[in-house]
Amino acid sequence: MITLVIYDITDDTVRNRVAKACKQFGLSRIQKSAFLGDLPSAKRKELISRLRRILGNSKGNIQIFVLCRADFALREVIGDVEFEEDEEIILV
């Protein structure tokens, strides 16, 4: 199943830790605050626990969506992605 993680976090340290966790789980950055990738259910749950621990009591919001192949095939992408801060942004 495809996992999509989007987040809205002001604190740089927390936000960078969230991005790092997503990368460690093999997700690819598709926007500044969005990661996407194929994860088995158990791994997705592990990632969710990790993200919950990282956010802790800090301000912010993280949302995790799951997409089956049929849903993912309907994805639409408009415009290009800008590379920022030497961070790799990939349109998978």
46 lies in the binding site for a second copy (CB under 8 A): no
Residue identified by tokens 């690819």 is 28
Q: Indicate which single residue of 76, 85, 86, 88 sits in contact with a second copy (rule: CB under 8 A).
A: 76
* Residue 83 is a binding residue for a second copy (CB under 8 A): no
Cα(77)–Cα(75) distance, integer angstroms:
7
Q: Mask of contacts with a second copy, 2-21, x by CB under 8 A?
A: --x-xxx-x-----------
Q: Which residue has the tokens 């830790």?
A: 17
- The answer for residues whose C-beta is within 8 angstroms of residue 42's C-beta and 6 or more apart is none
CB within 8 A of 27, min separation 6: which ones? Answer: 3, 5, 35, 36, 37, 39
Q: Which of 11, 24, 71, 87 binds a second copy (CB under 8 A)?
A: 71
- Contact residues toward a second copy (CB under 8 A) are 4, 6-8, 10, 30-34, 48, 51-52, 55, 58-68, 70-72, 74-82
